[in-house]
Amino acid sequence: MIGKKLGKKLNDTKKVNFKNIKNLCSQETFFVYESWISWLINNKKYSKNTISSYSYDFKYFLNFITLHFEINTVKIHHIEKLKLRDFRSWLSFLNIINPSIKSNSLARARASIKSFYFFCIHEKKITSSEVSKLSSPKLPKSLPRPLSENQILKFIELLDSEENELVRKRNKALIYLFWGCGLRVSEALSLDKKQIDSDFLIVLGKGRKERMIPLLPIIKKELNKWLLLRKRISPIKTDALFVSKIGNRLSPRYVQKFIERIRNQLGLEKNVTPHSFRHSFASHLLMNGVDLRTLQLMLGHSSLSTTQHYLKITNKFADEVYKKTHPRAK
């Protein structure tokens, strides 16, 4: 339970002063923060999005400490003296300032701060911490339902009605990459032209792990249409495969917005996002007999159990696989 003293302060939201990280901590603490971020980038190979999320979580953590200890500047000794009950109060603090916070955001916040403490102990900035005893919030195991082939084809049909040729062909190529290659949005938008190697796509996934995904003829066709149009954009300020009308690398927010617009036109559920096409890719392949190991490689999962959880194999399909593969089933 969050302490009564801290809880009373939070009743007045003006008490929560969301300053920049540098203004919340001592010079020493800020130096440790910068060193941690550098370590995440260079040693852990975390993406820009992950780094941004971890920094966001750290800022809220510092805000909590200022309220918890009634201080203006967080020093290393404040960070070291936090006990397990204090970390639990911090999770409660996150729920109070954002009642609609999702469990996966809480899990990420916990991972962020555990990573920071691990770094501090490794670099001998602190001697120990009870943060390792902080249990993970339980995450829902359900995943969004995949789109049917018919729904995706209707989606593409609406894309074809776009008047601007550049927007039409670019967005269509993007959807085919999501659905036909199972790419994450970050993976698709980080692609450079050189990563398309005739019949294969070279993808840099999570942890900067490289994988090769075969390109179906229809995907190559749509990509080539887009690449021809891309040459007309001048000036192009990047080697990015997907660029805006003014030549900048396309942003995730733009992709979210155009998919949201078409989703609404089709009357699809609100949980249909760019990631739904990756989920559809995986589910469609699985239901058509692709083995999990192959699918794991194509999705870029480090663990096979992640693939199994992600796909939510239906009882019916599992029964069919069992009857086909078990030596005593014949």
Q: What is the per-residue pLDDT across 13-25, written as a single tens digit (0 to 9) for each?
A: 334 444 589 999 9
Catalytic residue among 184, 230, 263, 279: 184
pLDDT at position 227 is 92
Q: Report long-range pairs for 33-37 (Cβ below 8 Å, ≥24 apart).
A: 33/58, 33/116, 35/119, 35/123, 36/115, 36/116, 36/119, 36/120
pLDDT at position 101 is 84
Catalytic residue among 206, 220, 225, 312: 206
Domains of the chain: which residue ranges?
4-133, 149-325
Tell me, yes or no, if 275 is annotated catalytic: yes
What H or E segment, with its residue span, contains residue 202? strand 200-204
Tell me, yes or no, if 184 is annotated catalytic: yes
pLDDT at position 287 is 79
Catalytic residue among 110, 169, 230, 278: 278
Are 82 and 129 within 8 A, CB to CB?
A: yes
Q: Considering the domain 149-325, what is its CATH architecture?
A: Orthogonal Bundle (1.10)
pLDDT at position 236 is 87
* Ranges under pLDDT 70 in the chain: 1-19, 136-145, 309-330
| Full DSSP string of 11-49 | TSGGG-----HHHHB-HHHHHHHHHHHHHHHHTS---HH
pTM, two decimal places: 0.59
Tell me, yes or no, if 301 is annotated catalytic: yes
Tell me, yes or no, if 249 is annotated catalytic: no
pLDDT at position 111 is 94
Output phi, psi for 192, to 5 deg: -105, 160
pLDDT at position 129 is 94
pLDDT at position 312 is 58
